Each structure stands twice: as structure tokens, then as C-alpha cells.
Chains A and B, each alone.
Chain A
Amino acid sequence: MDNKTMTMAASQRLLKKSNKSALQKEKRGKYLVLASALLIITATIAITIFLGTKGLQAFISNGVSLYEFLTSTKWNPTAENPLYGAVPFILGSFAVTILSALIAAPLGIGGAIFMTEIAPSWGKKILQPVIELLVGIPSVVYGFIGLSVLVPFLRDTVGGQGFSLLAGMIVLSIMILPTVTSIATDAMSSLPKGLRESSYAIGATRWQTIWRVLVPAAMPTLLTAIVLGMARAFGEALAVQMVIGNVRSLPSAITDPSATLTTIITLNMGHTTFGSVENNVLWSLALILLVMSFIFILLIRYLSSRRQF
């Protein structure tokens, strides 16, 4: 305390009214962050409401049957008797998501285990930058590489056109690999050190420690890693659209071309007029994407609540 403040009375030093300017600065900061929070919340709610009303418009005002939309496999909005069966795209989205997760999950978790348990020093030094690089590559580049390398390769080796569910799945699995690996690495390295030691101390081998103790203990977070990867795969449009073939029919094999909710939206949004039925059913597809992403978030929240460490 300097001399000047020493001479002031306690009422001047300590009462709120005599410190107005400092308190106002505090308040200003508080309002600034509150405004940011409100803006984020408003934007999210606005998008949800907009998607909700636009997505339901096709069923409410255009007379499209919701039942047909969710159960029929025939999609032809521009025919004389337009058909609005979204099943091929819903299934297509789920197929690429689940298949790519099936590839990325074991690879990502395996990489995470390698980095944390097998070669923590040099493994991390090499794999970490590789993974960061994978995150940084834009999806259009993944799609471009898929289109010019993967599709011809598949055409020559497994036959068919090359554009296929398989191509989409491979491109997506590489795209979600960094998400899965980095969260799985965090999951493994945040396990208490004592868990590892106590397993070794009762005579478990390294492999037994990893598979019977560490992986089960990290399981909720590992599943979160997979679900986050799946959420990214479900929403990816551009790269998938470039390699999947975009047909309206249900694929009968993994090498058949297919389509997903996202690819149909990106392909058709440009040449449908806003407010038309064709445009409105695209919004309905978008609504499904939104609902699915809510479900993914709920799943992640549920899994995180089961974390033990």
C-alpha cells in the first residue's frame, strides 16, 4: 500500500461505490465473454430451427410421405411421378461410416498403443507429426488422390468401375485415422501409471498388460475416439462424392457405386430452386444428418460418463 492509499479512510478503500472504474472493467470483460457464449448458442439454435422447419417442409406442405422417404429405395425427384425414397443414401452413409470405422479403429488404436506402450520415445516422435500432417490435408486433396489413384487401382484389381463403396470407405478411413489415433493416444497416456506397474508387478507380460488391463481401462475413451471418427465420416461430403460414384440405387456389393446423404445434397443443391419440392427433400436429408450428429454427441457423452480415469 502506498502512502496515498494509506491516508484514505477504509470506506474510500473498501466500499464498492468508491472503486467504480475498476469494477466496471470487470463487468465489461464479463459481458464480452457472455456475448460470445450467447452468440454461439444462438447460432446453433438458429441452425437447428431452420433445418428443422426446412427439413419438415417437404412432408408438411409438399405432401411427400415421411413413410416413403424413410422406407423406399426409389429416388427420382425429377420424374413425372416423383419418388422420394432416401433409404439408399441413409444406408450408404451408414455403410461408409461403419466400414471406415472398422478399418480406422484397429489401426488407430494399434498406433496409439505403439506410441504409448511399445516405443514411447521414438514412436511418438515419428507418428505424432505424421498424424498432424494427415489432419492438415484438406478433404478435396484426399478426394483428388482417391479419384486419380485409388479409383483406377480398384478398377484394375477388383473390377467394376472403381467408383465404389469400397473406394469411399478407404478414403474415409484414412481421413478419420488421425482423429481416432490422437484421441486413443490421449486415452492410453492418461491412464494412471500405477495401473501399468501393478499389472507388471503381478507377473503379467507386456501383451497381457496392454490387452487385459490397459485397453479395458481405457475402453470408454477409446470408444469415444471411434465415435468421433464416425461422426466425421458421416458428415464428410467432398472426398466421398469424388470416389463413391453417386448412384441412386442400393449397392449390392462393396465394389458397387453408391451414394450418401452428404453427396446427394452437394450434387443437387446447385440445380434445384430454393422452395421447390426437390430442394426441400434435400433439406430433409440434411435434417437426418443433423439428427445423426446429435445422436453421435449423445453417444460420446454417455461414453465419457463411463470413464473411470
Chain B
Amino acid sequence: MKTVMEPKRTNTTTEQQPRSEKTETKPAALDVKHLNIYYGENHAVKDVSFSIEKNAVTALIGPSGCGKSTFLRSINRMNDLIPGAKSTGEIQYDDVNLIGDDINVVALRKEIGMVFQKPNPFPKSIYNNIVHALKFNGIRSRKKLDGIVEESLRKAALWDEVKDRLHESALSLSGGQQQRLCIARTLAMKPNILLLDEPASALDPISNAKIEDLIMELKKEYTIVIVTHNMHQASRISDKTAFFLNGVLVEYDKTDRIFTNPSKKDTEDYITGRFG
């Protein structure tokens, strides 16, 4: 898996060049063009276009129902599971359009992993939670599996807490530990992009802080897109912030500019807590 993907990460010649001056430094991991998403009659995401940078944290903020989660879920095609969901436009990733009908969603989700708001470990041991997905990929060698389990748990900053009880049920872990296990489980797939849907909002403040530290650590290696309702969290951990309102991308800029000097009135109202 790793060897197949390595050239993709380093080979910048095939990458889309950033389109606007706002994304001046880093190359784009995902280039979104005129994306529309519908749930039946409901137009949930309206003509959204922007570029998500590589090896950076992009925060998606906005009030509930603004389309940010819907957008996030369209990147790894989780919306396919919702009956009546339909998308038009482009999400360019390397040399493919992720919205296309020809995408193998199973392979896609291995490259673009997702962690949800509520920690949802499988009712198996900690070890098997991570090994589970690897076995789908045909990795059977015990030694290799052990190696990946340790590596992913270390990356998710969970190894020291669970190394002596890898074979206990994952459901015996605390909420924060379960969430880091879910992150470890996703990292074990060696994804290129991590999608986080309010990963810390169901956790206590200490677990929350641990998850934030983890995200800061992970962005060195991964492209991270995070949906959050927590303004402080967005300002602390993200490099870029996108503000959604009623399905429209209102403003997208560097995080410090969004939080100190937003150009749109709606953005300012939202981050100062005047609505939403």
C-alpha cells in the first residue's frame, strides 16, 4: 500500500497548481470546483469552489445544517450511503474527479480516511480494531500486523496507555481513548488525507486537548480537513478556515485572517458569536 502511494505524494508535477493567490505556498491536495450536493429536493451544498492544501489543516466552520459536514462526507463519498444524495461538479484529487461515477469508493476510502464525531470502535479487542481493516487488504503476516498496530497507536498517541492491554475490548476504553483508537484505525490504512467530522466535540476538555495536540502532530504527514463547532479549536489548530452558511462557502482564507480580519460581515458575525 505504502509503496504504491509514495510516488503520488512526492510527484508534484501531476498535481493541480493552486488557482488563487490565497493558496500561495503549498500545493493543493483537493481542488473543489462548482460542487453542488443535493439530498432529494434539499440543495445542501451550493456551487462551492476552493482548494485544500497539502499537509495543512483546513477547518470547516459554520452553523448546524450549513453543509460543512455534507461537503466533508462527499470527499470520501460517504454520502453515497444516504438514499437520494446526488452531487455535481468536481473534487479534483491527483488526476481524478472524486465525484465521478467511475470512482472505486472502497479504494478511495482507504486513501481518504474519516473519523466521526462519536467514537465508534468495533466491539473487538483494541488490537483487532486496527488489524481488522488491514486484513481486508490482505495483510496477514503477524509480524507486519504487530508492527502496523504499534506504529498507528504511537501516531495516535495512544500506545503508552494501551500497550499492556491490546487484547482487551476496545469498548473498555474511555471516550477520548476510543476516539484516538478510531484515529489510529484510520491511520493504519496509511491514508493521504484525513477527514475529521467534529472529532472532539463529544469529549471532555482534557481528551479534547489531546486530540488537538494529535492533529498538530499529524499534519506534518497528512492533509487534514476538520469540521468543528468550536471556534477556539479552529483558530488553534488550522492553517486555513472555510466558513459555510446555508450551503454556500462564504469565505475561505488563512485562519488568522478569518479570525482577526474577516472580509465578510456574515463571517464576522459568526465568529464573534452574534448568530449560529
Contact = CB atoms under 8 A, between A and B. Distances in A.
Interface string B205-240: 000000000000000000000000000000000000
Contact of A217 (B81, B115, B123): B123
A211 to B, nearest CB: 11
Is the contact region of chain A dominated by helix, strand, or loop, or is it mixed?
A: helix
A121 B83 contact: yes
A197 B109 CA distance: 11
B4 interface: no
Contacts of B120: 192, 194-195, 197-198
A220 to B, nearest CB: 10
A201 B186 contact: yes
Contacts, number: 66
B116 A202 contact: no
Interface string B109-123: 110011110101011
A194 B106 CA distance: 17
Interface in A175-210: 192, 194-205, 208
Contacts of B83: 121
A216 interface: yes
A216 B124 CA distance: 9
- The 9 A-B pairs of least Cβ separation, nearest first, read A194-B120, A203-B110, A201-B114, A203-B109, A202-B133, A308-B123, A198-B120, A217-B123, A194-B118
A264 to B, nearest CB: 44
Assign chain A's interface to a size class: 20 to 34
Nearest to A213: B122
Contacts of B78: 197, 200-201
A121 B84 CA distance: 12
A205 B135 CA distance: 12
Nearest to B130: A202
Nearest to B108: A203
A203 B189 contact: yes
Contact of B116 (A197, A204, A208, A308): A197
A203 B106 contact: yes
Q: Could you say which of A192, A200, A217 has the most chain B C-beta atoms within 10 Å of its C-beta? A: A200
A212 B137 CA distance: 13
Given A200-B81, A212-B132, A217-B122, A194 B189 contact: no
